[in-house]
Amino acid sequence: MMDLTLKEIALAVGGTLCGDGDRLIHGVSTDTRTISAGELFVALRGEKFDGHDYIGDLTGKDVAVVTEKECSGIDHILVKDTLKALGRLAAFWKNRVAPRYTVGVTGSVGKTTTKELIAGVLNKKYKTHFTSGNSNNHIGVPITLIRIEKDTEAVVVEMGMSARGEIEYLTELARPNVAVITNIGTAHMEILGSREAICEAKLEILKGMEKGSTIILDGDEPLLRSAWAEEALKDYKVVFVGFAADNDLYPLDIYKGPTSLSFDAISPDRELRVTVPAVGDHFIKDALFAVAVGEACGVDDEGIRQGLMAYAPTGLRQKLYDVDGIHVIADCYNASPESMSAALKVLGGAKEGRRVAVLGDMLELGCLTESAHRDVGKECVANKVDRLFTFGKTSYHILLGARDAGMEKNAVSNAIDKDQIAQQIREYIKPGDTVLFKASRRMKLEEIIDLTGLS
């Protein structure tokens, strides 16, 4: 729990104190509806809201405020920019706690899973604090840092982005001494324009790191082994992770069980047999990142093994369960060409019954939108999908790609109404089938799962 006086906070954020400087603050909130006694309300502004409009609701409560406007009847700190003040306070508190290890995790796909696996490994040796869910933006990261307990020894911070400069801002708040870039995909292509630009944006994580710090990279990604990436990385300890044997850490003797993966993690110093309670090849690389971080932070072999075994999917990410004999893969948090491919391979590995894919639009792909969706349709055929349901206007191109690759017309359909597609799915599925649900977050595909009775 944070423990600072209002005077200390005013100095940290560069604001003007108006009120009792000795007041103790034990936490921060950006929502007046959930704020608790002893906390500090930061009045943020957004496109559709202004926190300053709700300061009046706090009158008479045991709280204080960070604000851009003068207010009366409540202790407050006046600043020019409340969002920047939130970031400054987060950086100040993180530096005050001074955890031994701070791990920054970014990448186009797999950030949250990798973060969870890393936290599980580190927690076997150190008291570990980590990003809750996917709170990985300019508000979520500061809140994560502010919630660090005083005796925390390791912090794992997930860092997301949609444009240049965002990772740089987040890394300068967190100041990691270990960093992970899971991959360079095509998410945010619409804004950044090329995979090269996406790679450059991810490497902004170096801006908050001291020379000599460890950075763990996807060694199967050519962009991260290019000459310009090598130049950017020359002052850091680089560890390459991937499936190819020329990586510093790679897997051998992979066993794929119905609910878990086991493999030998091979590095120059040792071979470590590990198991992850998840399915899909993409989990192998995510687990390798966690092994690499564990090694960099001094976690022993048994701690790494136990940390990986403790993994459980969070939120709407890949959840495997059965309903009335139907096997469900619910993966509705997000979607990109890379994660769609990985999910379809999991579906393709179903050992019995029919393979059913319910796929929705992938967003923010820019000029790749049509071709990327058509490629997903082709992958449906490659992974022997028996029935394809697509949801959304853009996902119609998945249908077209599947037809082009040879899927029968009566095995594919598209809908833009959730009730309609749910009824079609209910009428088709039967015990023994495996059904994959996947789309970008804004498609809210979990609502279709609910309507089909498969939740």
CATH number for the domain harbouring residue 111 = 3.40.1190.10
Where a domain ends, among 309, 327, 361?
309
User: Is 268 part of any domain?
Assistant: yes
User: Is 87 part of any domain?
Assistant: no
pLDDT value, residue 306: 97
pLDDT value, residue 8: 97
pLDDT value, residue 30: 94
User: Is 16 part of any domain?
Assistant: yes
Q: Answer yes or no: do 230 and 351 share one domain.
A: no
Q: Answer yes or no: do 281 and 362 share one domain.
A: no
User: Is 305 part of any domain?
Assistant: yes
Q: Answer yes or no: do 162 and 214 share one domain.
A: yes
Q: Answer yes or no: do 176 and 323 share one domain.
A: no
pLDDT value, residue 303: 97
Q: Answer yes or no: do 366 and 396 share one domain.
A: yes
Q: Answer yes or no: do 150 and 197 share one domain.
A: yes
CATH code assigned at 369: 3.90.190.20
Q: Answer yes or no: do 77 and 105 share one domain.
A: no
CATH code assigned at 66: 3.40.1390.10
3-class DSSP string for the chain: CCCEEHHHHHHHHCCEEECCCCCEECEEECCCCCCCCCEEEECCECCCCEHHHHHHHHCCCCCEEEECCCCCCCCEEECCCHHHHHHHHHHHHHHHHCCCEEEEEECCCCHHHHHHHHHHHHCCCCCEEECCCCCCCCCHHHHHHHCCCCCCCEEEEECCCCCCCHHHHHHHHHCCCEEEECCCCCCCHHHHCCHHHHHHHHHHHHHHCCCCCEEEEECCCHHHHCHHHHHHHCCCEEEEECCCCCCCEEEEEEEECCCCEEEEEECCCCEEEEEECCCCCHHHHHHHHHHHHHHHCCCCHHHHHHHHHCCCCCCCCCEEEEECCEEEEEECCCCCHHHHHHHHHHHHCCCCCCEEEEEECCCCCHHHHHHHHHHHHHHHHHCCCCEEEEECCCCHHHHHHHHHCCCCHHHEEEECCHHHHHHHHHHHCCCCCEEEEECCHHHCCHHHHHHHCCC
Where a domain ends, among 257, 279, 309?
309
Q: Answer yes or no: do 199 and 69 share one domain.
A: no
User: Is 90 part of any domain?
Assistant: no
Q: Answer yes or no: do 176 and 219 share one domain.
A: yes
Where a domain ends, among 46, 81, 116?
81
Kindly list the averaged pLDDT for each block of 10 residues, start to end, along the chain of length 455. Answer: 94 96 95 94 91 91 94 94 97 97 93 94 97 87 96 96 91 98 77 82 96 97 93 96 96 88 92 91 94 97 96 73 90 83 88 92 86 94 95 94 94 94 94 92 90 90
Q: Answer yes or no: do 37 and 143 share one domain.
A: no
**Total of domains in the chain:** 3
Q: Answer yes or no: do 331 and 304 share one domain.
A: no
DSSP lists the bridge partners of residue 388 as 357, 412
User: Is 109 part of any domain?
Assistant: yes
Q: Answer yes or no: do 334 and 392 share one domain.
A: yes
User: Is 93 part of any domain?
Assistant: no
User: Is 91 part of any domain?
Assistant: no
Domain with 8, as residue range(s), is 4-81
